[in-house]
Amino acid sequence: MKSEIKIILESDASNKAKGSCFETLISNLLTIQHYDVVGNINFTGMEIDLIAKHKHTNEQLYVECKAKEKVTSDEIRKFCFNINHKKIEKGYFFRTQELESQAGGLLMEIKGDVRYSKLSFFEANQIIRMLSDGKMIFDPIDSLSNYIISKRILAVTYFGDYFVYLINEQNALPTKYILLDAKEQDKPVSDEHISILKSRLEEITNLQLIPNHSHYKKKENTLIEAAIEAISEVQESENWYDYLPASSEKQHFVGRDDIRTKILTFFKEIRENKTPKRIFYLNGKSGWGKSSLVLELKGRCGNKHYKNKFLAIAIDTRSAISDNFVALSFKKLMNEAIKQNFITPDIFQSPISFISNNDLLSSPSVNNFIDTLKIQEKFLVLIFDQFEDVFRKKDFFKTFYKFLTDVTDKKPNLIIGFSWKSDFFIQSDDPSYHIWQQAKEQAREFTINEFGEKEIDGIIKQLEGSVGSLDKGIKERIKESSQGLPWLTKKLCIHIFDQIDSGLAKENLIESNLNILDLFRKDEEKLSSNELKAIQIIAKKAYDGSFFDETGVGDIIESNTITDLLHKRLIIRSGANYNIYWIYTGIIL
């Protein structure tokens, strides 16, 4: 069972205030152990959180208190230096949560070195036990033996101290939680305080409270009781003329040799431990083939050269309905590795489960799985397509970011990728803006550009495979009209295929300008009145040579209308300007 201590102060409280609160807690703990405590002492070039002197032995103690998500190796080194430099009898290091991976390795070395025998390091589990032994809190963990507790949280808040126990009822993820006053177990927790805790503790936001744990009976069919969320993989084309992303398996994917090689080289660098990064993202405009490239990478991982080294799945992020989505996607990938015999699992391997939806790399079952991957020198690749969609759903990105950060820190045999629409913008005042910027810093970026002549020829070749050879003039007209846009190239070729398939003679295509007018009319039929009005405004601006730019969004045309038209690929953004993909003044103006 993993334990954490969370400091919860008023929403406007600073990180320094949280640190001071934890220092006060530790100071009180040392006081009952007969220490006189002084806080926040500054020496030349160093700062000590607490200095304590034992009332009976006069033993001097330096104390470091870290109330943060992850403690770094530099912070541990600094603590060790301070203790040795001041020649103090003892040093205590208290932390509320986990260590960074490198810090954990360093700590193991320190504990095995007699030179640091005067140093002691205390994690949340030990602190809770010390607080309980000192009668500062009451931990009823022994009375909860009938429950499967995946995680224990001591919430030290501005309105009281509480124990939160995440309960796993034989599911991959906890579905319920128990909440108790940490000082008076029988004291009821008010609805107001429950609401605050649910809003501030991400792990329990969507879990169900067990109100009376001593009389609660688990239902028989807990697997059905747990919320079910379908994890959808990226759908691929059955035929080249489907509007779905191009199937790699059916060889509908064309071109992109350069960027594909770069990404697979990145995978190789990870496997050979030549890069510390484990995250990558595909950056490109809407309709430029990101989803098709994602499927191509998945397919390449399964070919003869890579199939014993990498296993990939591609998840459609638009299917996310809760913040369990990341955990369930990761579980799907691990189960797929077992199902396909990609790894040989330990015969004692228990079913995959997680401590919480915000802590995916800490459970024993996941750690055993990751150890197996490392021993067998194999990598799993989890790619989230349409990743920008997560920003349209409240707070979903926090679980993604925590997962990315943990993978970056622990560096398991796991590669995480995601595709990103470069024409999707996050405002700087959005709460997720800075988190997104930090996520990008952890990742290797690969940018998808417009189609070159080779890619356009590849799509035309697929068209000719269905309708026979085409006149050079038709091919040139396709290249000219497609403007190098992958989605428009495919759209035009499918349109031509449909016309020829319905009986139109090939020689009539040039005379009718490929009948693009009919294509645009079909698109126009799907527009709302607001969208049609917006199209007319944008087309008139383009026809007059002035173009509609982003300064008119919100005033002349609503921003959501612009977003919808971009999504439907009826308008094109170029820099700060918007244009429709094809202008025919007789129908538009």
Query: For the segment 187-215, what is each residue's pLDDT rounded down to a tens digit?
Result: 999 999 999 999 999 899 889 999 888 77
Residue 75, pLDDT above cutoff 60: yes
The pLDDT assigned to 398 comes to 84
Intervals of CATH 1.10.10 along the chain: 526-589
Residue 219, pLDDT above cutoff 80: no
The pLDDT assigned to 224 comes to 40
Tokens for 141, please give them.
């963990």
Residue 148, pLDDT above cutoff 80: yes
The pLDDT assigned to 218 comes to 59
The pLDDT assigned to 583 comes to 47
Window from 177-191, 259-273, 472-486, 532-546 with minimum mean pLDDT: 532-546
Confidence class of residue 584 from pLDDT cuts 50, 70 and 90?
very low
Strand-by-strand arrangement of the 379-385 sheet = 310-316, 379-385, 414-421, 279-284, 443-447
The pLDDT assigned to 581 comes to 65
The pLDDT assigned to 128 comes to 96
The pLDDT assigned to 587 comes to 42
Mean pLDDT of 45-70: 88
* Percent with pLDDT over 70 in the chain: 93
C-alpha to C-alpha distance for 114 and 111, rounded to whole angstroms: 8
The tens digit of pLDDT for each residue in 506-556 reads: 777 776 767 777 777 777 777 788 888 888 888 888 777 777 887 888 888
C-alpha to C-alpha distance for 119 and 91, rounded to whole angstroms: 5
Tell me what the pLDDT averaged over the chain comes to: 86
The pLDDT assigned to 585 comes to 39
The pLDDT assigned to 580 comes to 76
The tens digit of pLDDT for each residue in 295-317 reads: 999 999 999 899 899 999 999 99
The pLDDT assigned to 48 comes to 83
Mean pLDDT of 420-429: 75
C-alpha to C-alpha distance for 178 and 211, rounded to whole angstroms: 7
Residue 159, pLDDT above cutoff 50: yes
Residue 588, pLDDT above cutoff 80: no
Residues 6+ apart with CB under 8 A from 7: 18, 21, 22, 67, 96, 156, 157
Intervals of CATH 3.40.1350.10 along the chain: 2-132
Mean pLDDT of 351-358: 91
Mean pLDDT of 375-390: 92
Confidence class of residue 42 from pLDDT cuts 50, 70 and 90?
low
The pLDDT assigned to 563 comes to 78
C-alpha to C-alpha distance for 489 and 480, rounded to whole angstroms: 10
**560 phi/psi in degrees, rounded to 5:** -70, -30
- Yes or no: domain 526-589 corresponds to CATH 1.10.10: yes
Choose the CATH number for 257-447 among 3.40.50.970, 3.40.50.720, 3.40.50.300, 3.20.20.140.
3.40.50.300
Question: Which fold would CATH assign to domain 2-132?
Answer: Trna Endonuclease; Chain: A, domain 1 (3.40.1350)
The tens digit of pLDDT for each residue in 249-260 reads: 889 999 899 999
Residue 385, pLDDT above cutoff 80: yes
Mean pLDDT of 170-175: 85
* Percent with pLDDT over 90 in the chain: 48
Mean pLDDT of 491-519: 80
Q: What is the largest CA-CA distance in the chain?
A: 103
More confident residue, 526 or 448: 448
C-alpha to C-alpha distance for 307 and 95, rounded to whole angstroms: 42
Intervals of CATH 3.40.50.300 along the chain: 257-447
570 near 523, Cβ under 8 Å?
Answer: yes
The pLDDT assigned to 579 comes to 77
The pLDDT assigned to 121 comes to 95
Residue 28, pLDDT above cutoff 60: yes
